């Protein structure tokens, strides 16, 4: 095939991002992962290395938060939180089996929260959980003082994540495929506390944020706001209520969220070693791009 003759690797990043969908809804995407394996194995000159973009959600229920999640295969179904995460885990299992049985070089990258850009163009998808939270905070006039288990912010601008993926895939610095196989974590290893960004949001939105309240109080106000179905565009966080409830419940039970080891990833990725934590200036930049 012409395509097989011309490419030297595949980076698979095509997926529906919807935490409200069941794992069975992702069957077409999972099937395409199997098709990619077939494609790689049928290539006559050499097997085609595959880099699969997974998610930290596949290990969201890691039982020992004080121990960082290791950069290795963790085929435990109970660790994945949503159907989206389970679909990524199922695909990783398929790829790991192909690597063992057929020798297909596989790189799986568990990606953390992909945030907005550092650059002027583009913006953080307004439908995702943090932009939706910001938009609904303006609708409610209330801003939460914490984010539950999301409170330790490991968000990474999209350019940083892209560079990390290219690094560990051997694109930026070519390396033998057998050397870079395995698992890597792409996220900012230096998280920023949400509380350090609150002053920026208050300064930017001025009197549109009337009060900073507890996360529990914010969620209660969001629940009550559901009665007006006509306000969904201005109050998009209502669609993600369960996500916020889980984050709040986890914090109530003492969970501070998981930490991800990057000891294997950092030597391979200059982008990760140089990545800076989310700053107030970057938060302001995203607010300007959203134009809420």
pLDDT at 265 over 90: yes
Please identify which residue in the block is written with the tokens 């057929």: 102
Average pLDDT over residues 128-144: 97
Please identify which residue in the block is written with the tokens 């004080």: 66
The tens digit of pLDDT for each residue in 58-94 reads 998 899 888 999 999 999 999 998 899 999 999 999 9
Q: pLDDT value at position 231?
A: 78
Q: How many CA atoms lie within 13 A of 231 on its CB side?
A: 17
pLDDT at 228 over 90: no
Give 103 or 223, the one with higher predicted confidence: 223
Alpha-carbon gap, residue 86 to 80, rounded angstroms = 5
pLDDT at 123 over 90: yes
Q: pLDDT value at position 141?
A: 97
Average pLDDT over residues 271-284: 92
Query: Residue 291 class from Cβ within 10 Å (0-12 exposed, 13-18 middle, 19+ buried)?
Result: exposed
Question: Is 69 in a helix, a strand, or coil?
Answer: strand
Q: pLDDT value at position 252?
A: 63
Partners of 153 in beta bridges: 192
Q: Which helix (H) or strand (E) holds 192?
A: strand 192-193
Q: pLDDT value at position 250?
A: 75
Q: Is the dihedral of CA 61, 64, 65, 67 positive or negative?
A: negative
Pick from 34, 30, 6, 10: which is nearest to 107 by CA? 10
pLDDT at 95 over 60: yes
Alpha-carbon gap, residue 282 to 153, rounded angstroms = 13
């Amino acid at each position: 095939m012409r395509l097989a003759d011309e490419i030297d690797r595949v980076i698979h990043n095509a997926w529906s991002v919807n935490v409200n969908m069941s794992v069975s809804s992702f069957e077409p995407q999972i099937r395409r992962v199997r098709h990619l394996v077939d494609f790689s194995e049928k290539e006559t000159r050499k097997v085609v290395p595959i880099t699969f973009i997974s998610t930290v959600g596949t290990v969201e229920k890691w039982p020992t938060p004080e121990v960082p999640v290791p950069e290795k295969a963790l085929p435990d179904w109970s660790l994945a939180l949503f159907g989206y995460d389970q679909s990524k885990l199922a695909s990783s299992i398929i790829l790991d089996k192909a690597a063992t049985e057929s020798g297909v070089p596989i790189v799986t990258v568990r990606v953390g929260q992909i945030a907005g850009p550092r650059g002027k163009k583009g913006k953080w998808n307004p439908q995702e959980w943090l932009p939706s939270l910001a938009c609904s905070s303006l609708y409610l006039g209330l801003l939460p003082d914490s984010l539950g288990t999301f409170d330790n912010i490991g968000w990474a601008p999209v350019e940083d994540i892209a560079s990390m993926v290219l690094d560990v895939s051997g694109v930026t610095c070519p390396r033998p495929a057998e050397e870079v196989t395995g698992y890597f974590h792409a996220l900012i290893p230096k998280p920023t506390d949400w509380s350090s960004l609150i002053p920026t949001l208050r300064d930017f939105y001025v009197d549109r944020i009337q009060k900073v309240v507890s996360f529990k109080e914010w969620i209660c106000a969001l629940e009550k706001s559901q009665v007006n179905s006509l306000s969904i565009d201005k109050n998009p966080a209502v669609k993600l209520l369960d996500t916020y409830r889980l984050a709040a419940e986890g914090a109530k039970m003492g969970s501070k969220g998981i930490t991800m080891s990057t000891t294997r990833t950092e030597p391979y990725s200059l982008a990760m070693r140089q990545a800076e934590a989310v700053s107030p200036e970057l938060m302001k930049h995203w607010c300007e791009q959203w134009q809420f």
